[in-house]
Amino acid sequence: MIHIKTQADHDKYTKMARTDRDGFWREASASFFWRKAPKLISQGKLGEKVTWFEDSLLNLSENCLDRHMASKANQTALIWEPNSPDAPSRSFTYRELKREVEVFANTLKKLGVKKGDRVVIYMAMIPELMFSVLACARIGAVHCVVFAGFSAKSLSARIEDSGAEFIIISSGAARGAKCIPLKGIVDDALMMSPRVKTCLAIKHTDEALSMKTPRDVWYHEASIGVSDSCEAVSVSGEDPLFILYTSGSTGKPKGLLHTTAGYMVYAEYTFRNVFQVQQGDLFWCTADLGWITGHTYLTYGPLLSGATTLMFEGIPTWPDASRFWQVIDRHQVTHFYTAPTAIRTLEAFGLTPFTGVALDSLKVLGSVGEPINEEAWQWYFENVGRSRVPIVDTWWQTETGGIMISTLAGVTPALPTFATLPLPGVEPVLLNSDGKEVATQAGEGALCIKEPWPGMARTVFGDWQRYQDTYLKAYPGYYFTGDGAKRDDHGNYRITGRIDDIIIVSGHNIGTAEVEDALDLHPSVVESAVVGYSHPVKGQGIHGFLICSDPSIDRDKLKSELLTLVTRELGPIAKPERFQVVAGLPKTRSGKIMRRILRKIAEAETKDFGDVSTLLNPEIVDQILKAEIF
């Protein structure tokens, strides 16, 4: 285990990781329960297949649960706060959580799930979601959590890609005043994916459901009489742990595959050192388990460290905008980790929601998912942190498995809008347009990583070529993050945003191609292009440019049909904010859309479009500028 407690430790470990990388990660891996301890630490270079702790044997759920039985069996592992503040919360000690996971694991086994099988999970934010993930890990099945805001089509695409024959769902999901009928969405998805043989359903919300036998099985029935003792299976270090889908530059879902030992070591190392959680603290990560943040910092990081984690089912603005602050006071949360979009949403409600809340339990605040602007940072610091609590701005990705660049709470200094320094063991570089490393301390460029790290995704599930093309080809020998960044003359990094075809809306990654594919399905849309633009609350909004067969088409009707279409195809998170009907799109002679120009137009810029000499149709820019926005 590595615990960095001072700036001097930070310097020491940064140096050690550079001179003796394997020694550094060996030390980080020391406190786990290995059924066979690793002799091999890392193998392979960026650009080829990389492995970590490959010769080891272990079980991740055993490391999250059984390992703590001697000293923490009666300590609370999980507190669940429901959507409604009037409903009771639930809590589980480490011993109780272990028992729930073992019953769940035995139920999965009884229903035929085996080591290596992929299990898709599509659920509300309830404790059973965490049980199901840990149960998969216990029996060596590969969990594949799909955020329960995705459409039936997106869910089906993920089922198909993962090859899963087993899905775990909850009957519905309560989100604020809304109740989302998940079972209905799943039924639609399974019509498209008949490969699924078993759908295990947790009863959560109250709507009437139709269960299709023998496919659909209730958990409360299937688990009757099941033993509460389930031996954890041994898996090898590089056996797959989970697949998590993220957006890419084509519409096809991109399933990042994370493997067991490296992910475990990295989740624990980053959780411990970034957040500096101590005995008795309560860690609250607001992310849904359908995203990587929910995997690493709601579930695995806290449990591996023996911390107490809080899971929240609801939303920040219901029943009112004081909900987060009430939860912090009620449970005495010490560490609060959320996204800039939530901060900006709450900022818009002013200071009234803070009336009567103390927030004096807080010790550390965190931010993740997108760049945090200075104003939101200050608001968070002053009103939530009462100008006394350190903020960690943590930069990382689904692909990196855990935090890569961040302040360490109370150890290294924060700097508003900067993620600051890489964690020891992480080697970021900035590359210029010639693909050369920016040699000066201060500079700007494409953010890349120079050395492998244990938490890195190993491949795109079933598509190593796509992994190489996306991450390893742009700058040979480096991992390309897709982000741009600046570095100041003290080595602090500031992430400036995506430089590829991804738009981050309210912290959710959305690929331009998948939205365009959905828009193009409309019978009147001949071609479309979408770009991101600065949005005061969502960070970025989506602006769509449409070439229509009938340019005089009714705008209101078109917009409403397009929004329905995007919701059906992808889910409500991918809905564009606004559109323009245009006569053409700016294209290069090779037929590529020049998004750079569209981005400027979406940002309401009217001049300085840079070099347009390679455009096939430069006159189109003026026409687009005149087109109505609706």
**Which residue of the chain is nearest ligand PRX when measured via CB?**
398
Q: Which of 63, 345, 509, 540 binds ligand PRX (CB under 6 A)?
A: 509
Please identify, using beta-carbon distances, which residue of 103 and 419 lies nearer to ligand PRX.
419
| Residue 546: partners with Cβ closer than 8 Å, 6 or more residues away | 519, 525, 527, 528, 558, 579, 580, 581, 582
Closest distance of CB 484 from ligand PRX, Å: 9
| Residue 19: partners with Cβ closer than 8 Å, 6 or more residues away | none
Stretch that binds ligand PRX, among 93-101, 393-401, 535-543, 573-581 (CB under 6 A): 393-401
Closest distance of CB 340 from ligand PRX, Å: 8
Q: Is residue 487 within 8 Å of residue 443, measured between CB atoms?
A: yes
Closest distance of CB 41 from ligand PRX, Å: 25
Please list every residue from 156 through 215 that binds ligand PRX, using CB under 6 A.
Answer: none
14 binds ligand PRX, rule: CB under 6 A: no
Stretch that binds ligand PRX, among 78-86, 149-157, 349-357, 392-400 (CB under 6 A): 392-400
Q: Which of 396, 165, 367 is nearest to 263 (CA)?
A: 396
Distances (CA, A) of 109 to 26, 102, 114, 146: 34, 10, 7, 21
Please identify, using beta-carbon distances, which residue of 154 and 481 lies nearer to ligand PRX.
481
Please identify, using beta-carbon distances, which residue of 83 and 400 lies nearer to ligand PRX.
400
Closest distance of CB 289 from ligand PRX, Å: 13
Please identify, using beta-carbon distances, which residue of 299 and 367 lies nearer to ligand PRX.
367
Closest distance of CB 249 from ligand PRX, Å: 13
| Residue 429: partners with Cβ closer than 8 Å, 6 or more residues away | 437, 438, 447, 448, 449, 450, 478
Q: Which of 396, 418, 467, 475 binds ligand PRX (CB under 6 A)?
A: 396
The whole-angstrom separation of Cα 121 and Cα 64 is 20
Please list every residue from 370 through 389 that binds ligand PRX, using CB under 6 A.
Answer: 370-371
498 binds ligand PRX, rule: CB under 6 A: yes
Q: Which of 130, 182, 362, 419 binds ligand PRX (CB under 6 A)?
A: 419
Distances (CA, A) of 457 to 289, 420, 426: 18, 23, 15
**What is the β-pairing status of strands 254-259 and 235-236?**
unpaired
Both tokens of 129, joined, read 């979601």
For residue 210, count CB atoms less than 10 angstroms from its CB and return exposed for 0-12, middle for 13-18, buried for 19 or more: exposed
Residues linked to residue 528 through DSSP beta bridges, in sequence order? 546
How many residues line the site for ligand PRX (CB under 6 A)?
Answer: 22
Q: Phi then psi for 626, rounded to 5 degrees?
A: -90, -15
504 binds ligand PRX, rule: CB under 6 A: yes
Q: Sketch the per residue contact string, 270 through 309, with ligand PRX: x for CB under 6 A, - otherwise.
A: ----------------------xx----------------
Please identify, using beta-carbon distances, which residue of 324 and 396 lies nearer to ligand PRX.
396
394 binds ligand PRX, rule: CB under 6 A: yes
Q: Which of 383, 387, 386, 392 is nearest to 410 (CA)?
A: 392
Stretch that binds ligand PRX, among 395-403, 423-431, 583-591, 602-610 (CB under 6 A): 395-403
Please list every residue from 16 through 75 that binds ligand PRX, using CB under 6 A.
Answer: none
Q: Where are the alpha helices (DSSP H) in 33-151?
A: 60-64, 69-72, 94-110, 127-139
Q: Which amino acid is located at 573 in the chain?
A: I
Q: Sketch the per residue contact string, 470 through 489, with ligand PRX: x for CB under 6 A, - otherwise.
A: -----------xxx------
Please identify, using beta-carbon distances, which residue of 219 and 471 lies nearer to ligand PRX.
471
Q: Which of 63, 246, 420, 492 binds ligand PRX (CB under 6 A)?
A: 246
The three-state secondary structure class of 431 is strand
DSSP string over 211-226: --TTTEEEHHHHTTT-
495 binds ligand PRX, rule: CB under 6 A: yes
Closest distance of CB 504 from ligand PRX, Å: 6
The whole-angstrom separation of Cα 518 and Cα 179 is 25
Which residues make up the interface to ligand PRX (CB under 6 A)?
246, 292-293, 367-371, 393-398, 419, 481-483, 495, 498, 504, 509
